[in-house]
Structure 1
Amino acid sequence: MITTKDLTKVYRTRGREVTALAGVDLHVREGEVYGVVGTSGAGKSTLIRCVNMLERPSSGTVTVDGVELTALPGTEQRAGADLRAARRRIGMVFQHFNLLASRTVQQNVELPLEIIGLDRTQRRRKAGELLELVGLADKARAYPGQLSGGQKQRVGIARALAGDPKVLLSDEATSALDPETTRSILALLRDLNQQLGLTVLLITHEMDVIKSVCDSAALMRGGRVVEAGKLTELLATENSELARELFPLGEFGHGHPANTVLEITFQGDTSARPFVSQLARTYQIDINILGAAVETIAGRMVGRMRVELPGGHRDNVVPIGFLREQGLQVDVLNETDGAAA
């Protein structure tokens, strides 16, 4: 649904160049919620603005719903007719709402419908349906100044849906909201994804956002994507940086350097199996549980456990093999130097 290839964006100011994107390859499947996460300055917002061509890339391609946007004529200041038509299939939700204070909630949602030339009756009907969808039908006549932050963002989402887009882009849409309101907005985005079949690409600096609503994610750093994939696959990937960030185990114990310390990841059906007790009984070994946690990630139960087995790695090759045969992801930690074996 959304594909970027070798996407580069270079800003030239006062005789110097700043590279915001340095060859970004991204693929968002139709119907999924895809999160791009990274610290400030990683290039996240530039990426999403290039996806809808609010920023024209310096090089590379952007394809949305089968249309290569970078091949369409127009500039950042003046888009051509084909580019304007393509943009109408892409909704955009901004961090700071961008509502017009002098317009009512209903009129704010109607604005993009006015621009494309719908008559007054059609605009009112469509805006009413969208406000009902986002749970704000009773606020149609209110003004933005009378709304809470979460309500303003719901108006922004309704307005973004006015053109019946297939893709919804969200640029830090929850970063200005409190945790409870953030959860409600993320739940709304997931509901819209499922009800309308929307493909959602969201930008965030919060791992909790990725964890609670996304199917797939990419980690950006220095204008590049350093890791990307489905969350369930990343969690089962050895030495995945995104998995470590999503499910940190830093507070767990580290065991004795002379023993074997394992990090075990279990998902779905494997989370219900008593593999620790089976391992202890089968091989008659004492297992020290250093820490464990279970979370719901991408709608799937995921657990991680750090355990200590007596003896070195060579002494525990067979027990480790037993765990992996159960469908578990097992990482062996060398506590002497912190490397993975």
Structure 2
Amino acid sequence: MITTKDLTKVYRSRGREVTALAGVDLHVREGEVYGVVGTSGAGKSTLIRCVNMLERPSSGSVTVDGLELTALAGREHRAGRDLRAARRRIGMVFQHFNLLSSRTVQENVELPLEIIGLDRTQRRRKAAELLDLVGLADKARSYPGQLSGGQKQRVGIARALAGDPKVLLSDEATSALDPETTRSVLGLLRDLNRQLGLTVLLITHEMDVIKTVCDSAALMRGGKVVEAGELTDLLARPDSLLARELFPLGDFGAGHPGHTVLEITFQGDSSAQPFVSQLARTYQIDINILGAAVETIGGRLVGRMRVELPGAHQDNVVPIGFLREQGLQVDVLDQRNGAVA
């Protein structure tokens, strides 16, 4: 649904060049919620603004729903009209709401419908449907100044849906909200994704946002995507940077010299298995639990545990094999540097 290939954006000012995007390849599948995460300056917001051509890339391509937007933007004739038509299939939700204070909630939602030439009756009907969809039917006559931050963002989402887009872009839409309101807005985005079949691409610096709502994610650093994939696949990879940041176990103990330390990852059905007690009974070994955590990531229960077994690695080959036979991912920790051996 959304594909970027070798996307580059270079800003030039007073003889200096700053590379915001350096060859970004991204693929967002139809109907999924895809998160791009990274620290400030990683290039996230530039990426999303290039996806809808608010920023023109220096090179590379952007394709949304089968249309290559970079090609449309490059045409001399009909470029403006073609690009505007393509953009109507892309909704955009902004960090700071971007609502007009002099317009009511309903009038804010009607604005894009007014721009494309719908008559007043059609605009009112559509706006009422959208406000009902985001849970703000009773706020239609209110003004933005009378709303909470979460309500303002819901208005922004309703406005973004006015053109019946297939793709919804969210640029740090929850960063100005408190945790409870953030969960509510993320829940709304997930509901819209399921009800309307929307493909959602969201930009965030918060790992909790990725955990809560995303199916897939990409980690950006220095204008590049350094890792990307489905969350379930990333969590199953011992070398995944994203998995380590989503589910850190760094504060847990590293075990004793001469013993074997394992990191065990379990997802879905395997999370209900009493594998620690089964292992202890089957092989009559003492297991030291150094740390454990269970979270819901992308709607799926995921856990990670660090345990210590007596004896060296070669003495525990059979118990490790037993755990893997239970459908668990088991990685042996190198006690010298805390990395997976």
Tell me which interval the TM-score lies in, with the shorter structure as reference length.
over 0.9
**Match for residue 55 of structure 2?**
55
**Match for residue 308 of structure 2?**
308
SS of 2:317 mapped into structure 1: helix
**Match for residue 202 of structure 2?**
202
CA offset at residue 73 of structure 1? 3.3
2:240 & 2:181 partners in 1: Cα distance?
30
Structure 2 stretches of 5 or more lacking a match?
none
CA offset at residue 339 of structure 1? 2.9
Asked if structure 1 preserves the Cα contact closer than 8 Å seen for 2:254 and 2:338, the reply is no
1:7 & 1:74 partners in 2: Cα distance?
15
1:255 & 1:130 partners in 2: Cα distance?
55
CA offset at residue 79 of structure 1? 5.6
Deviations 1:180-199 (Å, cap 9, x if unpaired)? 11111000000100110000
- TM-score (normalised: structure 2): 0.97
Give the paired residue count: 339
**Match for residue 230 of structure 2?**
230
1:64 & 1:306 partners in 2: Cα distance?
42
Instruction: Note closer, same or farther for the CA distance 1:114–1:79 as it changes in structure 2 (3 Å cut).
Output: farther
SS of 1:55 mapped into structure 2: coil
SS of 2:138 mapped into structure 1: helix
Is the aligned partner of 1:214 residue 2:204? no
Asked if structure 2 preserves the Cα contact closer than 8 Å seen for 1:170 and 1:200, the reply is yes
SS of 1:11 mapped into structure 2: strand
Asked if structure 1 preserves the Cα contact closer than 8 Å seen for 2:91 and 2:168, the reply is yes
1:111 & 1:195 partners in 2: Cα distance?
24
Deviations 1:272-317 (Å, cap 9, x if unpaired)? 1111112112222111111111111111111111000011111112
**More off after superposition, 66-75 vs 120-129:** 66-75
**Match for residue 116 of structure 1?**
116
**Match for residue 282 of structure 2?**
282
Matches within 5 A, 1:56-95: 56-73=56-73, 80-95=80-95
Asked if structure 2 preserves the Cα contact closer than 8 Å seen for 1:74 and 1:80, the reply is no
**Match for residue 330 of structure 1?**
330
Instruction: Look up the equivalent residue of 2:184 and give its one-letter code.
Output: S
**Match for residue 169 of structure 1?**
169
Structure 1 stretches of 5 or more lacking a match?
none
CA offset at residue 337 of structure 1? 2.5
1:102 & 1:130 partners in 2: Cα distance?
20
Deviations 1:56-114 (Å, cap 9, x if unpaired)? 11111101001111110359xx9611111000000000000000111111100000001
Identity of aligned residues (%): 89
**Match for residue 142 of structure 1?**
142
Deviations 1:202-235 (Å, cap 9, x if unpaired)? 0000000000000110000000000111111111
SS of 1:228 mapped into structure 2: strand
- TM-score (normalised: structure 1): 0.97
SS of 1:72 mapped into structure 2: helix
SS of 2:131 mapped into structure 1: helix
CA offset at residue 250 of structure 1? 2.1
Give the aligned CA root-mean-square deviation in angstroms. Answer: 1.2
Instruction: Look up the equivalent residue of 1:338 and give its one-letter code.
Output: G
